[in-house]
Structure 1
Amino acid sequence: MTATVTASPAELPEGAETRSPSGHASPSANDVLLADLTPLGIAPDEIFSIQDVTMGAKPYPGAMVITYLCQSGLEYSINEKYETLTFTAGLDDDGVAVPGRLSVIGDGKLRKHVRMQINRPQTVTIDVSGVVKLAIVPEFDNGQTCDVDGVVAAVADGVLKR
């Protein structure tokens, strides 16, 4: 005799956060990973890549890494679809330690400045309700964004929530 068992995933309360095998937050069905969106106006590999980083001695697999810092940042068309953006920003522990900030801009208006320092990642949630175009722009304290070879500005676990 053969027994058949059907298993279904346990239901989580609405708004509950799940975890991926890496231990980082996984989006719910209504949410979108920021790294899955394509930036406007550029070929994605010209300005950023997806790679593993370490910030504050904690690994962040699949982080968005801004690699060509002479550009004005990344811009996305989110067309008023989301309420919040949550992410962790900072400098890769293995990169050059040039502090700066990450500006989050919605439709040309500053939504948030996030300080970027080596070993001090910051997790923030930003209201993006009503935003059509979202921009993420790194700026460095020395003002020489084209001369900071080795600086790795990272945005990890970015999730847009509806």
Structure 2
Amino acid sequence: MHRTRWTTVLACFVAPTALAWVAADLTLRHRGWVPSLTPWGAAVAVLVSVGVLVGGLAVRRMKDRQPTWITPTGAAATAAAAQASALVAPTVGGIYAGSLIAALLAPTAPAMTSLAWSSGACLAACALWCGIGLLVEHWCAIDLDDDDDDPGAAGTGDEVPA
């Protein structure tokens, strides 16, 4: 598994931001309203962040050969969850960012103020989620130098003398 690049994270954020902003702006201009967002998105993002962080800390202890509750299969699942978090969080955060931009550029109204606060809170939670995903992904990375199953390792009998 390859680690997630910053350019990929940025692309996962920018594209949904632009699409959500255009969709919200068009909806506001033609229908006169924008779908409201609730702060539950922020709560879910924080809960997922905590779960990935707890798993990541256990993987980190496992890599340091300290006692932990996680198994190798659980470590692989944690690595996959971290990589998914590093990609899904900016995508969802981009949707919230698009709504935030639309709310800030719209005429002042109580509904737009509420949308701006809710979108801002959800965007901050998604930024936290993405950061934790990238951090745990870094913790789950395996150095190829530590691999004991390397076919070129000493003692296999396949070496050709120089």
TM-score range, shorter chain: under 0.3
Larger Rg: 2
Whose strand proportion is higher, 1 or 2? 1
TM-score normalised to structure 1 length: 0.24
Higher RCO (CA < 8 A, seq sep 6+): 2
